[in-house]
Amino acid sequence: MMTPGRQYILIIFVILALITVICFFIYKKKGKSAFLIFGTLSAFVLRLDYVLYTPHWMRQHDVIGFGADEGQAAYIEWFLREKRLPDFDPLDKWGFFQPPLHHILSAVFIGAQTFFGKNYDRACEDVQYLTLFYSMLILLFAYLIFKEAGLEGNAMIIAFTLTALHPGFILMAGSINNDCLCELLMVMSLYFALRWYRRSTLLNIIPVALCIGLSMAAKLSGALAAIPVAFLFIEKWISGKKEGFLRYLGQYLLFALICVPPALFYPVRNLIKFGTPINYTPEVGQPVEQYSPAARIFDVRTP
């Protein structure tokens, strides 16, 4: 008798074979656009297969599982049950120090399903469909970035295929922690920043600010997106010379007014109420400071 794992593998190969055949006929008429269609369909099938095959708690050290007293799944259940921010020091429960955007959205997603009669355990497991949606949106905005950067032909096909089939984004599709939403908003911020760079209007800077602010409201490491965006801002400011100085200054002030509140609300709140350090991150596994930078990158041995 075929095991469940082999059954899923067989199904995925059959589907991918069908996609290949369909794209072959599309290629006859549409040329290289067939590769983009193949990449998109393959990306969706691989992500969906991973979601169907993998329980929500697997390969995630900080989720633990629904029904537990700590971890990111318990954090989601807190919002589902209490409908408010934690009223205790978030360091008292593992995983509760994280900014809450993803966990609030996941709680709303579970609540909506149970409202329409779905079994609670099944609704919790189906949070993976939310992260599957985020993962596919990452692919969409990656494609828009490639277009904005002027990629075409083989360059577009290679870049898009690498993104579509990248194992990290497949794993994120089934991971119900806050990584995937943060990554999505970071990618979106880069796309909107490129659009703003080409047409630097007050209206175009608003989505950049919203995406970076909300990415930090999902996970503080979303601030990394601000680094390349800052270089674009500085370059525009310098190239604008005298006549552009005040214009861009006004845009940057609007950017800060929109970006900073969602980005820093939760960590600043916890700092004021509980004394939690803004950049707090718990230690996981072995302390990395005992290893040299070269060992951290190239030493793949495990204890």
What is the greatest pairwise CA distance in the chain?
Answer: 76
For the record, the structure tokens of 228 come out as 């390349």
Q: What is the tens place of the pLDDT at every residue in 15-33?
A: 666 666 555 555 555 556 7
Mean pLDDT (whole number) for 99-116: 96
Mean pLDDT (whole number) for 150-157: 88
Residue with tokens 């041995």: 301
pLDDT > 90 in the chain, percent: 56
What's the alpha-carbon Rg for the chain, to the nearest Å? 22
Q: What is the tens place of the pLDDT at every residue in 177-203?
A: 999 999 999 999 999 999 999 998 999
The pLDDT of residue 157: 86
CA dist 101 and 217 (Å) reads: 6
Flag whether pLDDT at 1 surpasses 50.
no
Higher pLDDT, 146 or 1: 146
The pLDDT of residue 42: 83
How much is the mean pLDDT over the chain?
85
CA dist 251 and 141 (Å) reads: 24
Is 258 within 8 Å of 210 (Cβ atoms)? yes
The pLDDT of residue 25: 53
Residue with tokens 């700590």: 70
CA dist 182 and 101 (Å) reads: 9
Dihedral sign of CA atoms 268, 269, 270, 275 in order: positive
CA dist 248 and 236 (Å) reads: 8
Q: What is the tens place of the pLDDT at every residue in 274-284?
A: 998 888 877 65
Lowest mean pLDDT among 40-54, 83-97, 182-196: 40-54
CA dist 161 and 190 (Å) reads: 19
Alpha helices by DSSP H, the chain = 4-30, 33-53, 72-82, 101-115, 120-125, 127-148, 153-164, 167-173, 179-198, 202-218, 226-239, 241-274, 293-298
pTM of the model: 0.86
Higher pLDDT, 294 or 248: 248
Flag whether pLDDT at 2 surpasses 50.
no
Higher pLDDT, 1 or 201: 201
Q: 225: Cβ–Cβ under 8 A, 6 or more apart, which residues? A: 185, 186, 189, 190, 211, 212, 215
